[in-house]
């Protein structure tokens, strides 16, 4: 802002000076006519002169029509005496009321030279500013090859492994890097070669950048951070220049860590790309490979990089001597989530009823960033209600907001829609409770959140890594329960079951084509399996089976859906009174916890 005002003031000053000079020159360059002294006296006598200027041996007369005359007079003579000699009395001279300016010698010459000096000064100022602007533009062009690398000093904002909750295996693997940076001789004496590059792989928010900073903090070395996208610009060769500059900067600060975030932006597998952008990206990647090969055995620089798409990286990056050490960061388990919650609530005021273990149980699949956002949302919610501390209910509400979206208080349902939604969600809840193996019911509500009119929140009872066929079938039956309930109670079906049907069909298809859980098709998978989008390249399936097999797959999917439909319908018909009681309680209270539901249907 200050720079902008200085530039504006400079422009205004130049314009003012230019206008003053122009005004002066306009007056100075008016054509002057030389006359004799007697003619000058006659002009004064005829009162045709408005201004008289006397300087050394010259007198200038300015007429009313802006014509300037000048006449030469004797040096060191007084013009007043000259007027008296021509017969002007003192009273006449006084009556003329003409201002006479007597100028010294230096001011006379200044008046002569000033019309020439001022244009030179003005041109000099304009040239200076033009040269300065050109020089700045040239410097800006050369600065393109400088990297925007950021330095985190170990003396400020130091982060260690204690600040990183969970990720036990990852921290153990990276401890070797810390030891090498602290005591390299121990490895060098045995001829060991510490990996020059460490690739951190994990879903967004899993703590890749935080873990890299923790390694630098543990080793007490400078941490240099740059994003992969910051290397590439529209100008060819800029990326390679920035890579050289970044590596040179880090080498000067060794021992140090260079962290490249989102390296897949420049490290994608090279191919037959078309266009300058592809060539520039490949030049940048080639320069990174060259720089990593240029490390000496004694160079104490570790290059760490983060990505959520390791499969698309160029193979040359992953070969030994470059990013040969790969560390996978999984989403935290229940213990890890509890530790993360403790870290993010250290600077928060918590009420006595807050149970972080319960919050951890309710948040499977949450990353560290998700949990940090959850705690922040709880703090905002508590502040909005003018509370002095964050309560358990604030934490629970923030879970629902993060998972399902904020409450849609502006969405007003008719009594009929509210009743349909209540029965729909009550059907989900009832089947989930009565079917063994179904995901554990936590809460049911008919308060609209996001795009849903209501929701049934189900969580696993414990951290699970395997799931059986019977558990899949129980979840499919629970998903179909809302659809079945609407048909049983209202003899009609609404659009509210669309997402349930889509999810149930996807689960049934996975049972048949992915997990080999079909009785007729047996232990076989069909089509290329879908991978996690953040850890794999395949995000779509490819048909690699015959039309006859495709028909069998459709039949098996339909059979699974129909069997689950019958099972859920049987439960709902046998417990119709409990269904009605649960739906009525939802209409009245809008939200029910698991304990309340269990008491209602005893």
- CA distance linking residue 148 with residue 526, whole number of Å: 48
Residues paired with residue 407 on neighbouring β-strands, in sequence order: 449
Residues paired with residue 32 on neighbouring β-strands, in sequence order: 68
566 φ, ψ to 5°? -65, -40
Structural tokens at position 546: 């015959």
- Which of 368, 375, 363, 374 lies closest to 334 in space, CA to CA? 363
Three-class secondary structure of residue 208 per DSSP: helix
Residue holding tokens 């990013």? 323
- Which of 322, 153, 141, 146 lies closest to 249 in space, CA to CA? 146
Structural tokens at position 71: 């006449």
What torsion, rounded to 10 degrees, do the Cα atoms 105, 108, 112, 116 define? 80
Is residue 425 among the annotated active site residues? Answer: yes
Catalytic residue among 282, 400, 425, 486: 425
| Residue 400 · residue 359 · CB < 8 Å | no
Burial grade of 549 (CB within 10 A; 0-12, 13-18, 19 or more): middle
- Which of 321, 305, 293, 247 lies closest to 313 in space, CA to CA? 305
Cis peptide before 395 (omega within 30 of 0): no
Structural tokens at position 24: 């002066």
- CA distance linking residue 212 with residue 329, whole number of Å: 12
- Which of 223, 264, 266 lies closest to 243 in space, CA to CA? 266
Task: Identify the H or E element spanning 476.
Answer: helix 469-490
- CA distance linking residue 427 with residue 574, whole number of Å: 12
- CA distance linking residue 9 with residue 576, whole number of Å: 82
- CA distance linking residue 311 with residue 535, whole number of Å: 7
| Residue 59 · residue 53 · CB < 8 Å | yes
Residue holding tokens 């308060």? 447
- CA distance linking residue 458 with residue 365, whole number of Å: 13
- CA distance linking residue 515 with residue 511, whole number of Å: 5
3-state secondary structure 306-370: EECCHHHECHHHHCCCCCCEEEEECCCCHHHHHHHHHHHCCCCCECCCCCHHHHHHCCCCCCHHH
Edge-first strand listing for the sheet containing 49-55: 32-34, 68-72, 58-63, 49-55, 100-103
Q: Which residues have a catalytic role annotated? A: 425
């Amino acid at each position: 802002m200050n720079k902008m005002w200085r530039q504006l003031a400079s422009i205004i000053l130049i314009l003012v000076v230019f206008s003053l000079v122009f005004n002066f020159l306009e007056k100075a360059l008016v054509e002057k006519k030389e006359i004799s002294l007697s003619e000058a006296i006659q002009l004064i006598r005829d009162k045709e002169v408005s201004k008289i200027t006397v300087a050394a041996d010259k007198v200038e007369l300015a007429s009313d029509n802006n014509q300037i005359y000048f006449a030469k007079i004797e040096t060191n003579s007084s013009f007043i005496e000259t007027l008296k000699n021509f017969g002007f009395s003192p009273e006449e001279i006084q009556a003329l009321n003409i201002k006479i300016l007597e100028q010294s010698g230096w001011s006379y010459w200044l008046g002569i030279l000033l019309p020439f000096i001022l244009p030179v000064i003005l041109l000099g100022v304009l040239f200076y500013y033009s040269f300065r602007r050109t020089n700045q533009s040239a410097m800006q062009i050369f600065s393109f090859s400088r990297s925007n690398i950021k330095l985190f000093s170990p003396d400020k904002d130091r982060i260690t492994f204690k600040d990183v909750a969970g990720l036990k295996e990852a921290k153990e693997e990276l401890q070797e890097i810390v030891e090498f940076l602290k005591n390299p001789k121990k490895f060098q004496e045995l001829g060991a070669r510490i990996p020059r590059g460490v690739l951190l792989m994990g879903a967004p928010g899993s703590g890749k950048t935080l873990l890299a900073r923790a390694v630098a903090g543990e080793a007490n070395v400078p941490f240099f951070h740059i994003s992969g996208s910051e290397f590439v610009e529209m100008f060819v060769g800029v990326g390679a220049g920035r890579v050289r500059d970044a590596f040179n900067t880090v080498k000067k600060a060794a021992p140090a860590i260079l962290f490249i975030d989102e390296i897949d932006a420049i490290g994608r597998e090279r191919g037959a790309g078309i266009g300058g952008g592809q060539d520039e990206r490949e030049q940048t990647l080639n320069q990174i490979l060259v720089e990593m090969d240029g490390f000496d055995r004694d160079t104490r620089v570790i290059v760490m990089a983060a990505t959520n798409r390791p499969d698309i990286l160029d193979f040359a990056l992953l070969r030994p001597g470059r990013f040969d050490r790969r560390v996978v960061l999984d989403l935290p388990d229940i213990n890890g989530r509890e530790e993360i919650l403790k870290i993010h609530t250290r600077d928060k005021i918590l009420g006595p009823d807050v149970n972080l273990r319960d919050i951890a149980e309710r948040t499977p699949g949450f990353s560290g960033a998700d949990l940090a956002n959850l705690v922040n949302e709880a703090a905002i919610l508590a502040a909005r209600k003018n509370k002095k501390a964050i309560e358990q209910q604030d934490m629970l509400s923030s879970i629902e907001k993060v998972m399902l979206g904020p409450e849609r208080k502006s969405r007003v349902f008719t009594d009929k829609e509210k009743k349909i939604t209540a029965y729909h969600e009550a059907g989900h809840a009832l089947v989930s409770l009565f079917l063994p193996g179904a995901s554990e019911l936590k809460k049911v509500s008919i308060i609209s959140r996001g795009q849903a009119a209501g929701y049934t929140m189900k969580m696993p009872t414990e951290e699970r890594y395997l799931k059986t066929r019977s558990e899949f079938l129980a979840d499919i039956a629970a998903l179909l329960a809302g659809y079945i309930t609407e048909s049983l109670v209202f003899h009609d079906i609404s659009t509210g079951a669309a997402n349930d049907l889509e999810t149930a069909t996807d689960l049934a298809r996975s049972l048949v084509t992915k997990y080999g859980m079909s009785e007729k098709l047996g232990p076989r998978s069909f089509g290329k399996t879908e991978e996690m989008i953040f850890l794999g390249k395949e995000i779509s399936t490819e048909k690699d089976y015959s039309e006859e097999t495709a028909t069998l797959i459709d039949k098996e999917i339909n059979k699974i859906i129909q069997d689950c439909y019958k099972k859920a319908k049987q439960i709902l018909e046998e417990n119709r009174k409990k269904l009605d009681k649960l739906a009525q309680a939802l209409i009245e209270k809008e939200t029910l916890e698991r304990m309340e539901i269990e008491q209602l249907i005893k």
